Amino acid sequence: MKGNIYTDERCVVCRSKLHYDQNQSGFFCENHPENKVLPTNLRVKFGRDILQRFNDFRQAEQFLMGLRFKTVEGSYDVRDYQKNHPLGFETQALKYLERKKQKVSINQFRDIRCNVRKAVGAWGQRNVKTIGYAELDDFLYGLPVSEKTRANAKSALLGFFKWLKKREKIPIPAFPECDFELGWRNIIDLELQQEIIEEVKRISYHINPKIWIGIKWLATYIAIRPNELRQLRERDINVSGFFVLPPKTTKEREPKLVAILEEDISLYKSMPTALPDVFFFRHVKGNGAVKPGGQFGKDYLYKWWKKACRNLKVEGVDLYGGTRHSTATALGEHFSRQEIMTAGSLHKTNKAALRYIQAEKNKSILVYRKVREMQGKVVQIGGRKTG
């Protein structure tokens, strides 16, 4: 039978070697078989894979019997006993983060890394096979966070275990429910949207016209998120008709092409030129917090949007809801949901897909042209009075 227990202790009578006898559950000397010994200096050897030391005979014997049982059962996995913890949670989690870093946006990765690191703090090198519903429930509901943040933590761990199943063939454990009520993002009609954008222009154009341009573009090109917009460099605004968003700047970690209206190409050309690697949305003047030519901060456009909203006595409308979501909602009267969702998000960039890209660009231009038409009608009417 595979495996055995060994000891360096000797017979107290003749100093001969002691041998393990499974049937009698002890060690015996060939010359004095009547003397049963339970040594304290023990090592269990199981084939070439495992060599583990014990100072208690009962524990050593139970360990050996467990290995034999798992072998017969078909569940024996040498990785469960290796000293470098190949199936330790921390070991696998670090590998997962390395893979994930290459596939998601920086902001997404930061959230995933934060939640996975919290789990590493709780479980360390615990074997991933032993993490089940109870452990997940204790961990998730032991976090002193909101229900939305708890759900995000669950999502990060579920992603880890799905990856682990593909990599190591380990079943995904059952997860506890982490329900939360998603808050609604307020939207506005295009009439009020244009009033706010015009107010942004009035209060900021003399400081930096790109503040107004950025918010104007967010209200038109619904395929672009605020953080993606501020990542655009001069080279990424293609005068032949596209915004080109590199993979590392997008939430999906895929390249994104977004069609540009001719008037916005002209607007871009009217701006001072710079080297290709320079951020398009950059500061003109410096102050204590930023330097001239520095990239707009993550909340910079939002700050100006809120200033304009305060001036117009508009409350409860953030930049994302007031631009991208409000425009998409208004477009629902003219286009299908699928047409709106795919407008400008052209992920195919190889030469074989050029014909496809041009066809999709034409569809996107129709959507964005309709946006400008609706916004233009609002401006011609004269806008709405607020407050």
| pLDDT per position as a tens digit, 46-77 | 988 788 899 999 999 999 998 888 888 888 87
Go through 21-55 and write b for each residue having 16 or more CB atoms within 10 A of its CB, e for each that does not.
Answer: eeeeebbbbeeeeeeebebeebebebeeebeeebe
- 350, 342 in Cβ contact below 8 A? no
pLDDT at 372: 86
What's the farthest any 2 CA atoms get from each other in the chain?
111
Examine the domain organization and report whether 59 and 104 are in the same domain.
Answer: no
Domain boundary among the residues 115, 134, 168 is at 168
- Higher-pLDDT residue of 84, 205: 205
Q: Does residue 175 belong to any structural domain of this protein?
A: no
Across the beta sheet with 256-259, the strand order is 237-238, 242-245, 256-259
Single pTM value for the model = 0.57
Examine the domain organization and report whether 235 and 375 are in the same domain.
Answer: yes
Q: Which range marks the domain in which residue 105 is found?
A: 89-168
CATH label of the domain that carries residue 99:
1.10.150
Non-local (6+) Cβ contacts of 5 within 8 A are 20, 42, 43, 44, 45, 57, 60, 61, 64
pLDDT surpassing 50 at residue 15: yes
- 149, 191 in Cβ contact below 8 A? no
Give the end-to-end CA distance of the chain in Å, rounded to a whole number. 87
In eight-state DSSP terms, residue 141 is T
Q: Does residue 84 belong to any structural domain of this protein?
A: no
pLDDT at 348: 41
- 194, 375 in Cβ contact below 8 A? yes
Examine the domain organization and report whether 268 and 373 are in the same domain.
Answer: yes
pLDDT surpassing 90 at residue 256: no
d(CA 263, CA 343): 18
Report the amino acid identity of residue 305: W
Q: Does residue 298 belong to any structural domain of this protein?
A: yes
d(CA 156, CA 124): 17
Examine the domain organization and report whether 299 and 244 are in the same domain.
Answer: yes
d(CA 107, CA 98): 15
Q: Does residue 44 belong to any structural domain of this protein?
A: yes
Identify the sign of the CA torsion 327, 330, 334, 340. Answer: positive
Can you say whether residue 7 is alpha, beta or left, with left for phi > 0 and alpha for psi between -120 and 50 degrees?
Answer: beta
Examine the domain organization and report whether 246 and 335 are in the same domain.
Answer: yes
| Rounded alpha-carbon distances, angstroms, from residue 76 to 201, 268, 314 | 69, 65, 65
pLDDT surpassing 50 at residue 356: no
Examine the domain organization and report whether 217 and 330 are in the same domain.
Answer: yes
User: Two tokens at 248?
Assistant: 């590392």
Percent residues over pLDDT 70 in the chain: 88
Q: Does residue 66 belong to any structural domain of this protein?
A: yes
Examine the domain organization and report whether 221 and 306 are in the same domain.
Answer: yes
DSSP letters of 85-135?
-TTBHHHHHHHHHHHHHTTS-HHHHHHHHHHHHHHHHHHTT-BGGG--HHH
Taking all residues of the chain, what is their mean pLDDT, rounded to a whole number? Answer: 85
pLDDT surpassing 70 at residue 141: yes
Nearest CA-CA partner of 369 in 265, 261, 268: 261
Examine the domain organization and report whether 68 and 112 are in the same domain.
Answer: no
State how many domains the chain has. Answer: 3
Q: Does residue 181 belong to any structural domain of this protein?
A: no
**Average pLDDT estimate for 191-213:** 96
Q: Does residue 387 belong to any structural domain of this protein?
A: no
Domain boundary among the residues 168, 200, 230 is at 168
d(CA 30, CA 14): 10
Examine the domain organization and report whether 58 and 119 are in the same domain.
Answer: no
DSSP letters of 36-78?
-B--SSEEEEETTTEEEEES-HHHHHHHHHHHHHHHHHT---G
CATH label of the domain that carries residue 221:
1.10.443.10
Domain boundary among the residues 136, 168, 200 is at 168
Examine the domain organization and report whether 150 and 47 are in the same domain.
Answer: no
pLDDT surpassing 70 at residue 175: yes
pLDDT at 158: 96
pLDDT at 381: 47
Identify the sign of the CA torsion 56, 59, 65, 70. Answer: negative
Q: Does residue 356 belong to any structural domain of this protein?
A: yes
- Going by pLDDT thresholds of 50, 70 and 90, the confidence category of residue 25 is very high
Go through 117-139 and write b for each residue having 16 or more CB atoms within 10 A of its CB, e for each that does not.
Answer: ebbbeebeebbbbebeeebbeeb
Percent residues over pLDDT 90 in the chain: 54
User: Two tokens at 193?
Assistant: 């949207």
Examine the domain organization and report whether 230 and 292 are in the same domain.
Answer: yes
- Per DSSP, helices labelled H in 222-336 are 226-230, 262-269, 300-311, 319-320, 326-331
Examine the domain organization and report whether 209 and 353 are in the same domain.
Answer: yes
Nearest CA-CA partner of 310 in 386, 219, 206: 386
